[in-house]
Amino acid sequence: SSTRGETETGPPRYSSRIVEIQTGAIRGIILELNSRHLEPVEVFRGVPYAAPPVGPLRFQPPQAPVSWPGTRLADTFGAVCPQKYPDITNRTAALQFMPKGRYQYLKKLLPLLANQSEDCLFLNIYVPGSGKPRDFLLSLVETVQVYLDQIYLIKYTWTKYTWTKYWSKSIRT
């Protein structure tokens, strides 16, 4: 699947780089953007940053993710954490309790959040094509680990909605 501004037709174009992180090796995909002014973006989808908070780990401090052998293809989005969204199936009724802009935003966003599960502790990492993913990923994972250690629970879900364009322009190394 793709999001606004991304070109993704046919099979994914895998990155030539393999990035070693604490739990194993990952290979992302390269996305070309629908703009001649933006460079391609290397994307690592569904990278676990903690063990699934299910069974005895439910409502417990996060545990380190399980390591994997070989190279993991980071080409599929992980599940998003379970959330209750307003019912927007009836447009007229929905507009009674929300502005039109919010309704239109939810209409675009909700299909991207259909895959919900308690096993949802994944990162989708976007690196400019000229970036250095290993250093970037390691600093990001360390930051997330510190954050998790401090609060024990993440309430914010990273989605795939608009990050690709952001990362293409934001970090230049």
Cβ contact 118:52 at 8 Å: yes
Query: How many residues are present in the chain?
Result: 173
Between strands 41-48 and 122-128, the pairing is antiparallel
Cβ contact 80:159 at 8 Å: yes
pLDDT digits (tens, 9 = 90+) for 12-21: 899 998 999 8
The ranges assigned to domains in the chain are: 6-82+117-158
Please state the rounded mean pLDDT for residues 96-101.
Answer: 93
Q: What angle do CA 18, 24, 28 make, to 5 degrees?
A: 35
Work out the pLDDT band at 127, boundaries 50, 70, 90: confident
Q: Tokens at residue 105, please? A: 């935003």
Cβ contact 159:123 at 8 Å: no
pLDDT digits (tens, 9 = 90+) for 44-71: 999 998 999 999 999 999 899 999 999 9
Q: What is the pTM of this model?
A: 0.67
Task: Please give the pLDDT value at position 135.
Answer: 56
Strand partners, 80: 116
Work out the pLDDT band at 172, boundaries 50, 70, 90: very low
Please state the rounded mean pLDDT for residues 126-148.
Answer: 58
Identify the residue whose tokens are 């989808």.
45
CA–CA dist 28, 167 (Å, integer): 15
DSSP three-state, residue 151: helix
